[in-house]
Amino acid sequence: MTLTAMIAKMSEGLGRTCAIFFLTLLFSLPLGLLVALLRMSKNRLVSTVTRAIISFLRGTPLMLQLIAVAYGPFYLFGATLLVKQKLLAIIIAFSLNYAAYFAEIYRGGIESMPVGQYEAAAVLGYSRTQTFMRIILPQVVKRILPSVTNEVITLVKDTSMAFTLAYMEMFSIGKQIATSQSSFLPFVIAGVFYYLMNSVVAFAMSRCEKSLGYYR
């Protein structure tokens, strides 16, 4: 198999790699905010339970969570895993895991906001929701962007874990070629692909940071 053939074959999996990447962000970013708010709830039960869940999601390997989501239903209810549901299992596991990380980032950002911002808004008559959505959250987004960038870059690389479920994204295809051709080359190609994708991510995120650079 030629190098170009390998690249062509692996490129076919890039769509699936991107699907994991974008769907995970789509669900985990809002979910993370919700989890952060639950984590900061004044209700002790809610905050304790949420903290325990975050701790579990951050303290165990993503690969185990992936396997648990994919095969858990089979062992528990005898449900069979269909090919179509592989992506579903991956998105559920990834979204939960990343939501836990994002939640802690959001929480750090929210807790770093000076109390004076809340007080100024309160005196002007802003409701709690208005204060959060208009005054606090936009500033939090700016503050946490560098940490979010780190997670997003990790996510690009983590998509390779889908091979655990033999979901044929770019890396799994490469791994298959590597086995059948007894070649190391597919791993080099995969490395280049991830590096290129992360260059795009880094560029996009720095554009975001710049667009929020109009204030301090």
Partner 1 sequence: MNILEIEHCRKQFDGNEVLTDISLTVSEGQVVSIIGPSGSGKSTLLRCATLLETMDGGSLRYLGKSAVRDEGGKSVYASAAELKEIRSCFGLVFQNFNLFPHYSVLKNITEPPMLIQKRDRTEVLETARDLLEKMGLADKADAYPYQLSGGQQQRVSIARALAMKPKMLFFDEPTSALDPELTGEILKVIRALAAEHMTMVIVTHEMAFARDVSDHVIFMDGGVIVEQGDPHAIINNPSHDRTIQFLSRFN
| Contacting residues toward partner 1, per CB under 8 A | 114, 116-117, 119-126, 130, 134-135, 138-139, 142, 214-216
**Residue 167 identity:** Y
- Tokens matching residue 18: 């991107």
Q: Which is nearer to partner 1, 59 or 125 (CB)?
A: 125
**Residue 147 identity:** S
**Closest distance of CB 119 from partner 1, Å:** 5
**Closest distance of CB 25 from partner 1, Å:** 23
| Residue 145 near residue 165, CB atoms below 8 Å | no
Rounded Cα gap, residues 179 and 202, in angstroms: 32
Q: Which is nearer to partner 1, 58 or 128 (CB)?
A: 128
**Closest distance of CB 208 from partner 1, Å:** 14
Rounded Cα gap, residues 144 and 148, in angstroms: 6
**Closest distance of CB 118 from partner 1, Å:** 9
Rounded Cα gap, residues 70 and 139, in angstroms: 38
Q: Which is nearer to partner 1, 78 or 125 (CB)?
A: 125
> Cα separations (Å) of 141 from 49, 113, 146, 156, 202?
25, 11, 10, 21, 17
Q: Which is nearer to partner 1, 5 or 122 (CB)?
A: 122
Q: Which is nearer to partner 1, 84 or 216 (CB)?
A: 216
The 10 Å Cβ neighbour count of residue 60 is 12
**Closest distance of CB 6 from partner 1, Å:** 48
